[in-house]
Amino acid sequence: MRQSREGVTRIVEQAPADASADAPRGVIAGFVKSARTIRWTSLLVWFMRTMAVVWIAKGLFNWSIVMGANPLVGDFLMLPRLMKGGIIVFAVADLLAAIGLWLAAPWGGVLWLLCAASEAVSPVLAPRATMVGPAGIALDVVLIGVYFALSWIAGRERR
């Protein structure tokens, strides 16, 4: 701090540098720190938000089965008891996971991982209680891998 001639104390000697001058322009600007590096944390957040939208759709699909609005699946009351329980559990858990994912909260990622992992192993544990096919299982496994990879890289970026 210096005192100027007018008797006013000056805290800042010069104006801060303009940070927007070096920022890249366009859609990818949120993901790029400079011309060579990717902001992995931002990419992780956008992955989580994309998964949130998908999981909202999955949760609403399960609720459409429960409410009888989806005639392609059949009558909910006529489904096997284990399948009814699985549909109800995922109808609630998928929507909760979607909220946590959209907020990019740690509990959202954990709940999403539990939902995706349990959906992936449910055909092995209870074949009559699931509506997931081999493609859905493979997609869940790939998405879990992408989430772990992005989380690990974003964690290293923050150090």
Summarised one tens digit per residue, pLDDT across range 24-37 is 555 555 555 554 55
Among 122, 127, 71, residue whose Cα is nearest residue 93:
122
- Domain membership of residue 17 (yes or no) is no
pLDDT value for 54: 96
User: What are the distances in angstroms from CA 130 to CA 51, 52, 110?
Assistant: 21, 21, 22
| pLDDT confidence band for 114 (50 / 70 / 90) | very high
- Domain membership of residue 6 (yes or no) is no
Counting Cα atoms < 13 Å in the Cβ hemisphere of 129 gives 17
Domain count, the chain: 1
- Domain membership of residue 31 (yes or no) is no
Domain containing residue 51: 38-157
pLDDT digits (tens, 9 = 90+) for 30-88: 555 554 556 888 899 999 999 999 999 999 999 999 998 877 777 888 888 888 888 89
Structure tokens at 87: 């549909």
- Domain membership of residue 18 (yes or no) is no
- Domain membership of residue 87 (yes or no) is yes
- Domain membership of residue 56 (yes or no) is yes
- Domain membership of residue 15 (yes or no) is no
pLDDT above 80: residue 13: no
